[in-house]
Amino acid sequence: MSVKKALFLTNEFPPHIYGGAGVHVDYLSRELAREIEIDVRCFGDQNESAPPMTVRGAEVPAGLLDATPDKLRSPVGMLARSVEWLARDIDADVVHCHTWYSHFAGIACKLLYGTPLVLTTHSLEPLRPWKREQIGRGYDFSSWVERTAIEMADAVVAVSQETKADVLRHFDVDPARVCVIPNGIDLDEYAYTAATDGLEKHGVPLGEPYVLFVGRITRQKGIVHLLSAIEKLESDACVVLCAGAPDTEEIAREMKQRVEHLQKTRGNVIWIEEMVPRAVAIQLYSHARVFCCPSIYEPFGIINLEAMACNTAVVASAVGGIKEVVVDGQTGTLVRFEQQTEAPFEPVDADAFAAGLARALDAVLADEALAKRYGEAGRARVEERFAWRAVAAEVLGLYNRLASQ
């Protein structure tokens, strides 16, 4: 039996994307729609029907969360959207969930309709304890929903070998039900561009080397460690922080205070306080001397693929799936650190980690030939291993195996 239609359940979907999971769902759904029907149900106000894909957003009814404690609005809002998703008929051959926000509805689909359940593990709650700062006891709820869904899923997709190991270590799952299918990249869209209007708009100096960070303001992405590394840089190159969507008010305040301090003491730190359009991000990647990914937890790190596809050298932390994307000494430099084994999963020596990032960044900033070599090798690697067409073919093969069972 071949699958004819898949239901995607997801928090993020265009135009409401703020992280790598949303990017993944956007491109994977488009590629799969070349072969089968895709029914996307997401958070937001989307309402599109362009066969073979339909997209329907779900919003929390006005006033429903007025009496809900602030930290619990996210998980309670998820339940409200899940009910709206489930209130519409489901006729898909398989349901594919992305992030814990979709797992409750995925569980219900499997139980109510008997639909095979597939989960892609973009991250894992046991490895994100800092979320308690963000959603309080909602973290206990998200962890329970995730565990229940993963342990009853017909197939769990891990985006890296390391993520598969994490799934098997933290959950009671038959290894045969866990497969590794990486994230991908659109090689036509993500490529070097000579355009600079996006740089000019944000005041990025043209023709000068700069360090680039692109990502959310969250503990997971290691932005605070990069700020410490900037203080240690010997190079006077510009630093561009394209960073928005803070997880909490606390980290937003910390980011603001530290960036203001760097701008006073260093003078050439540019903070773009928004998640810029894709075309602008591609320009930022294309003209950077080096891209930095200082994550302390990263199941895959799709952001590194984006930089590498734009011929940009990468300096990244040697954690999680990043080690399967960035080849140390070939497409970039990996910075290793000893990680705490208990919450909050920070480096044992944060100062040493920041110093390591600074040394690696200084080395690439000082050597244009090295940066070019890294960039060319990075582009070649993504062309060889991470095209979305190949990723979608693996996912469709998984669907068909489940349907035949």
Specify the 3-state DSSP secondary structure of 6.
Answer: strand
pLDDT in tens, the chain (405 residues): 799 999 999 999 999 998 889 999 999 999 999 999 999 999 999 999 999 999 999 999 999 999 999 999 999 999 999 999 999 999 999 999 999 999 999 999 999 999 999 999 999 999 888 888 889 999 999 999 999 999 999 999 999 999 999 999 999 999 999 999 999 999 999 999 999 999 999 999 999 999 999 999 988 899 999 999 999 999 999 999 999 988 888 999 999 999 999 999 998 999 999 889 999 999 999 999 999 999 998 989 899 999 999 999 999 999 989 999 999 999 999 999 988 776 556 888 999 999 999 999 999 999 999 999 999 999 999 999 999 999 999 999 999 999 988
Q: Is the peptide bond before 175 cis (omega within 30 degrees of 0)?
A: no
Predicted model pTM = 0.84
Strands of the sheet containing 290-293, edge to edge, are 269-272, 238-244, 210-216, 290-293, 313-317, 332-335
For residues 290 and 365, is the Cβ–Cβ distance under 8 A?
yes
From the CA atom positions of the chain, what is the Rg in Å? 21
pLDDT of residue 345: 67
392 falls within a domain: yes
Domain match, 231 and 380 both: yes
21 closest CA partner among 101, 130, 90:
101
User: Are 213 and 294 in the same domain?
Assistant: yes
Output the domain CATH number for residue 77.
Answer: 3.40.50.2000
| Structural domain includes residue 190 | no
Asked if 268 and 236 count as a contact pair (C-beta separation under 8 A), the reply is yes
Residue 189 domain flag: no
Do 30 and 130 fall within a single domain? yes
252 shares a domain with 160: no
The DSSP element (H or E) to which 306 belongs, if any, is helix 302-309
Q: Please indicate, yes or no, if residue 108 is contained in any of the structural domains.
A: yes
In terms of residues, how long is the chain? 405
**Same domain (yes/no): 396, 362:** no
Domain interval for residue 213: 197-385
134 and 27 both lie in a single domain:
yes
- Angstrom CA distances, 51 to 5, 36, 54, 57, 95, stand at 11, 10, 6, 16, 18
Same domain, 143 and 214: no
What pLDDT is attached to residue 108? Answer: 98
Residue 315 in contact with residue 290, Cβ under 8 Å? yes
Is 207 found in the same domain as 169?
A: no
The answer to whether residue 281 sits within a structural domain is yes
Confidence (pLDDT) at 88: 95
> Do 128 and 255 lie in a common domain?
no
Question: Is 192 part of a structural domain of the chain?
Answer: no
Q: Are residues 270 and 308 in the same domain?
A: yes
**Is residue 191 in a domain?**
no
Q: Cα(297)–Cα(292) distance, rounded to whole angstroms?
A: 14
Same domain, 128 and 263: no
* Shared-domain flag, residues 108 and 222: no
- Residues 220/297, Cβ–Cβ less than 8 Å: yes
Overall domain count for the chain: 2
Per the listing, tokens 């994490």 go with: 166
The residue to which tokens 């899923």 are assigned: 153
The answer to whether residue 83 is domain-embedded is yes
